A and B are shown apart, each in its own frame.
Chain A
Amino acid sequence: MIIRKIQIENYLCYYDTNTFELSNGLNIILGENGEGKTKFYEAIDWLFNGENRELDMLVSAKKLNEAEIGESFRVRVSMTVDQDGKKSIITKSFLAMKEKANHCYTSSFMIEGIEENKIGERIQVDGKTLLDNIFPFQIRKYSMFKGEAELNIFESESALTDLINLFSDAKHYHKYSEKGAFLREKAEKAVEESSKLDKKNDSLYKRLEGEIFQLERDKDSYKVHLNATEEEILKIEGYLQEAERHVSNADALEIINNRIKGIEEKISFATGRIDENYTTSLFDDNWILVNFEAFQREYADKVSAHSKKRRELQSEYDKQKGIREGEKKAKAELLNNSVPLPIGVPSKSHMEEMLNDEICKVCNREAKKGSEAYDYMMKRLITYLQSQSVKESEPENDNPLFKFDYTNRLESLSYSHEDNLKNLRLIRTRITDLFEFNDKRKREIEEQNEKLENEKSEREKILGKSSIGAEKLSDVLKNYNVWQKEIKNKNQDQNDYNSKLKNIEYDLKTKKEEKDNIDKNSASSFLIKTRNILRDIETIFIDTKENKFDEFIEKLQTKSNNFFKRINIDSFTGTIVFTRRNKVNRTIVEVELQEDGRKFYKPNQSLETSMHISILFAISELAFESKNQNFPMIFDAPTSSFGENKTAQFLNLIFETENQKILLIKDFLYTDRMTKILSIKKEFENVKRDKAFWVKLERPFDPNNLKTINSQVIAL
């Protein structure tokens, strides 16, 4: 599609009818500030999007001034386009009737459409429908840009959705992934119901369900936290960037910021290695036994002394016992140690008779008084008589001296701790070693802290050479340091949330597997199979959708970078990187400039502009690919930060691109100091273009009187 002609009639500074016969390719409209460039852009914008109110504000003051009271005239913007060899004219206009000086009554506007076929027949059609057919609304949105600020289309949250809907296959999968989720949920429910019929696992199943529910909730809430934290990080990064914008030596600042980060990491590492749990070590590492050797010695001495005493006593006891036993033995001394007869055999009277007669009447031998035989008999009689006397028998001590043996265990404790003595003696060394280790780390930290302070004051010096006033500077500095601290904390939070999420995911997986196992045993296999298929289908839909999405982003990125490299030929560019970020309910795309994979924080305005223009050209190329036709692009002052040289380069480059471009710029104009005459610079001759215009106010004019304002269109 090509815009062949734009006509503007009695619209603001465009008095009477002004015609721009445009060409395919690059159309450049030159103009000084305030001489009609932007009004041209606004006229087209009004044609496309203008609303039906305050129309009297659009009326040319010069025309209104010239009209008689009661006279009416048309205010009109019309566009003639060529599409597939067919000509269409779209006209938006209203009537203005002068009521009194400087005041007019206006009608509502109307949009007329005229289609002309190849043989030149004209048919009246609905203008709005015609416009949307030849130049669809969504594409128009990415075709018209006013100033540099509007170039960043991704500022708008819906931009991405619009683009996807326009150009990516991903949109087809969206409804399937929703359907897939719905079906999978139904199948899960059916399996659950079936499993619940099995009462055996009822309580376990319910518990698992509860736990899974809780975990899912935790997961969601951590995701919200994570998103919020990530957003805050981006916000703070933005603040920092904004503050750094005031700094003249941005590269040095970045280097210092990196060094500070490195030092802070070293400090945190060294801090982590310091083990200051001395009180815990008293127990876990037995440090509390550091002075214990003396006690162990005392114990060992005591136990061994006791053991010795015990043995002595036992031996004495045994000896005593041996003596008593010897006596006993003597009592029953018989020849050849033979077992004696029972006491009382022979009887007392027989014994007394035998002793009286001095004869042993058992063996028929003489037993004279004083002989061995007489004495033996006498002893036996005495023993008998003694045994008959009622006296307490001698306590027969058969019990051992020591009833219990505690010594054995006491001694083995002593021996085992004796072996351990070396460890006791080492404790002091270990304590000293750890203190030395910790001291070393502390010294390291001190050194690093000193470095950190130096770097920070260096940073403040750099920040000090900033472009804002001193009183504001202290504010910025204060905030800058707070932000730096905050971003450190937020990064920590982000890590924490990520690891917590990972843990939750893991738990969730385990619980779900556990639940699936119950399902396997309880639910009917048909239901389980169905559910598994539906699970897979949902995964396929989601994955495909995401793949398509990523494909599109990838394509956009490649195309954008192609343009970007061409626009910034021979100078630093970096790479435009599109990052997909999944938020809880939506997906957004962030665009940033990277240098070796690192975010390039402070692109200058011209770099940023060329990045955004590159993206727009990429989108335009995508539009060409999907609709199989080119659409015009209209830019009002897109390159104001470029400077004339770069603008010339830029124009020469976009001259090469396929589609029709209408650029409004204020470069290449020159006012002679003496004569105040405005003219076009020679350099413009070298700028490649298909068509050029110069919009210029009719001289003389009174800058304070609108009635004298009339923009002339000069085709160059």
Chain B
Amino acid sequence: MKSLFDKWKTRIPKYSEVHKDLFNSLSQKFGAEGEKKINLGKHFSTNYELYTYAFFLGIYNNELAPIPDGEKKIDFSHHIQHWGSKTTISTRKDFTNLQENMFIALLAKTQVDLIALEKGELSEDEAVKMLIKTMESYTNGGLILIKEKMEENSNYFLQPTSFLDMILEVKKENKYN
């Protein structure tokens, strides 16, 4: 029995260099918690938290925005399987459930020909590549949304509820669409 999930989580997804500033300003690279996080003016403890957030924001808003060919893709050298888990910060919980849900969303939203995969006509690598591309596209969409929000009102993210609100607002909007 093969597992696409197990393969997928060994990968490192990328993001467009144009969002580098967003990562610098919103998240703390080496992990910070509690007061330190707030003192640094960071909302996210780690880069992958922001990445995960942007991904979910992207899929909830159906913002599939593939990274344009002209933009340089960069990553933060952290395999998906290590996201959230085994951090030095003991107060935080592990991300296994979130990883699984990300995978679930990706498989739902990616046109992977599973029949061909199982027949061996489509390579596993190819399938995983498709999933990662979907992941990067939704995340890129999410990051664009955050950026727009920031440009709209630079003080928006000073509210402790701002990021939660963006996630909660999605559904209402979708209802009317």
Q: A: which residues have CB within 8 A of B?
A: 276-284, 286-292, 295-296, 298-299, 302-303, 306, 309-310, 313, 401-410, 413-414, 417, 420, 431
Contact = CB atoms under 8 A, between A and B. Distances in A.
B164 A431 contact: yes
Contact of B160 (A278, A310, A404): A278
B107 A406 contact: no
B14 interface: no
Contact of B5 (A287, A289, A306, A409): A409
Interface residues of B, number: 44
Contacts of A303: 107
A295 B59 contact: yes
B1 A289 contact: no
Given A278-B163, A282-B53, A295-B105, A404 B115 contact: no
Given A278-B161, A291-B171, A402-B118, A283 B98 contact: yes
Interface string B129-160: 00000000000000000000000000000001
Given A279-B164, A413-B104, A417-B104, A284 B93 contact: yes
Contact of A279 (B44, B60, B95, B114): B44
Contact of B163 (A279, A302, A313): A279
Contacts, number: 120
A409 B52 contact: no
Given A282-B163, A292-B101, A406 B2 contact: yes
Contacts of A295: 59, 101, 104-105, 108-109
A55 B156 CA distance: 82
A438 to B, nearest CB: 10
B125 to A, nearest CB: 13
Contacts of A298: 108-109
A407 B3 CA distance: 9
A292 B108 CA distance: 12
8 contacts: A278-B160, A281-B164, A282-B163, A290-B171, A404-B120, A406-B4, A409-B3, A414-B104
B97 interface: yes
Contacts of A281: 164
A463 B77 CA distance: 63
- The 8 tightest CB contacts between A and B, nearest first, are A403-B120, A298-B108, A299-B108, A278-B164, A402-B118, A409-B3, A299-B104, A276-B160
B18 interface: no
Interface in B2-22: 2-6
A176 to B, nearest CB: 48
B47 interface: no
Interface string B81-113: 000100000001101011011011101110000
Contact of B4 (A288, A290, A409): A409
A284 B59 contact: no
Nearest to B46: A283
A313 B92 contact: no
B64 interface: no
Does more than half of chain A's interface fall in helix, strand or loop, or is it mixed? Answer: helix
Given A402-B119, A407-B118, A291 B98 contact: no
A291 B49 contact: no
Interface string B16-54: 000000000000000000000000000111000100110
Nearest to B110: A302
B170 A291 contact: yes
B170 A408 contact: no
A404 B167 contact: no
B1 A306 contact: no
A306 B114 contact: yes
Given A403-B119, A404-B118, A431 B168 contact: yes
B55 to A, nearest CB: 9
Given A403-B118, A405-B118, A409-B3, A283 B168 contact: no
A283 B95 contact: yes
B115 A289 contact: no
A405 B97 contact: no
Contact of A302 (B60, B97, B98, B107): B107
A309 B170 CA distance: 34
A406 B118 contact: yes
Contacts of A284: 92-93
A302 B59 CA distance: 17
Contacts of B93: 283-284
A289 B160 contact: no
A110 to B, nearest CB: 74
Interface string B58-92: 01100000000000000000000000100000001
B2 A283 contact: no
Nearest to A275: B160
Contacts of B161: 278
Contacts of B115: 306, 309-310, 313
A269 B92 CA distance: 23
Contacts of A306: 114-115
Given A282-B167, A291-B170, A292-B101, A302 B4 contact: no
B129 to A, nearest CB: 15
A276 B43 CA distance: 12
A405 B105 contact: no
B101 A296 contact: yes
B142 to A, nearest CB: 11
A410 B107 contact: yes
A281 B167 CA distance: 12
Contacts of A283: 49, 52, 84, 92-93, 95, 98
